[in-house]
Amino acid sequence: MKLVRFGPAGSEKPGIVDGDGTIRDLSSIVDDLTGDALSPAGLERLRGVDPASLPAAPSGARLGPCVPMPYNFLAIGLNYADHAAETGSPIPAEPILFNKAPTSISGPNDDIVLLKDSVKTDWEVELAFVIGTECFNVPADKALDHVAGYCLCNDVSERFWQTESTGQWVKGKSAPTYGPVGPWLVTADEIADPQNLAMHLDVNGKRMQTGSTTTMIFGVIELIAYASRFMKLLPGDIVTTGTPPGVGLGMKPPVFLKAGDVVELSMEGLGEQRQKVVAP
């Protein structure tokens, strides 16, 4: 299933994409795509619904983030060897965990609003996964049982605040609109192998990133087993898994986003995003 949320920011309704690509309103079935709705039983209930029996969403409705604001928006740093190399960083011996503020979440086509005094805002196309059941001290062989589905994420990053201003990554990753997710939450049963998905990202029509999850250092299974040693992940939590090479920081000379730029990204099976960059 491809699950969505549509409508004005803060008032989104849950939806499902039917076989013709029409968004159908699920709000008579579930209040939102959170909690029990993301559990195996909740998703099985949604599979039993005939989309044709549901009203269509208004034509041209805004797409919101594919899940509502999570408790945790966890991210993985330097998870592609060639991306680590382009930033001048060593390949990590174990996953690098950091947080994006949950309030950074935004819709897949919402504007990226630059931070005040931003000087080095960058892009990162990433595979993200959404937790479906409570997850703590999970062994690797049970890890995927806790995944509700997968989505596309742009891990927008202000590099100066991330690495040069006392080096706290969360500061450069957490501004409102710096976490577009969606358009869809694609349930795990529709993604045969999350470690074999092609992706790319363009800025103003120029290809910047081309990659595949085949080159991730730590795959989804390893990330769940590792992260759940240190924290409890809850239904609806988002984990975004790192980016391939081609970020602005790695260009020679570096290139960063400015007002008026347009960022477009896509991933195999997970849809597309398009964001316009605007001044604060």
How confident is the model over 257-271, as a mean pLDDT? 98
The C-alpha atoms of residue 229 and residue 222 are separated, in whole angstroms, by 11
Of 241, 246, 206, nearest in space to 122 by CA: 246
Cα 57 from Cα 267, distance rounded (Å): 24
**Could you tell me what percent of the chain has a pLDDT over 90?**
91
What is d(CA 184, CA 136) in angstroms, rounded to the nearest whole number? 26
CATH number given to 73-278: 3.90.850.10
- Please report, rounded to a whole number, the percentage of residues in the chain having pLDDT higher than 70: 100
52 has a pLDDT exceeding 80: yes
**Residue-level pLDDT at 163:** 83
**219: phi then psi, degrees, rounded to nearest 5:** -80, 180
**What pLDDT, on a 0 to 100 scale, did the predictor assign at position 178?**
98
Q: Per-residue pLDDT tens for 147-204?
A: 999 999 999 999 998 888 777 899 999 999 999 999 999 999 999 999 999 999 999 9
List every span in the chain annotated with CATH 3.90.850.10.
73-278
Strand 147-154 to 262-267 pairing? unpaired
Q: Number of helices and strands (H, E) in the chain?
A: 5, 18
State residue 90's pLDDT score.
Answer: 84
Q: How far apart are CA 247 and CA 89, in angstroms?
A: 14
Q: Is 194 exposed, middle or buried (0-12, 13-18, 19+ CB in 10 A)?
A: buried
- pLDDT digits 0-9 by tens, 75-123: 999 899 887 787 778 888 999 999 999 999 999 999 999 999 889 999 9
CA dihedral (88, 86, 128, 56) in degrees, to 10, reads 140
266: confidence class by pLDDT, cuts 50, 70, 90: very high
CB 259 within 8 A of CB 119: no
* d(C-alpha 182, C-alpha 152), whole Å: 5
Q: Which residues contact 93 (CB under 8 A, 6 or more apart)?
A: none
Q: Name the one residue in this structure whose structure tokens are 């939590």.
A: 237
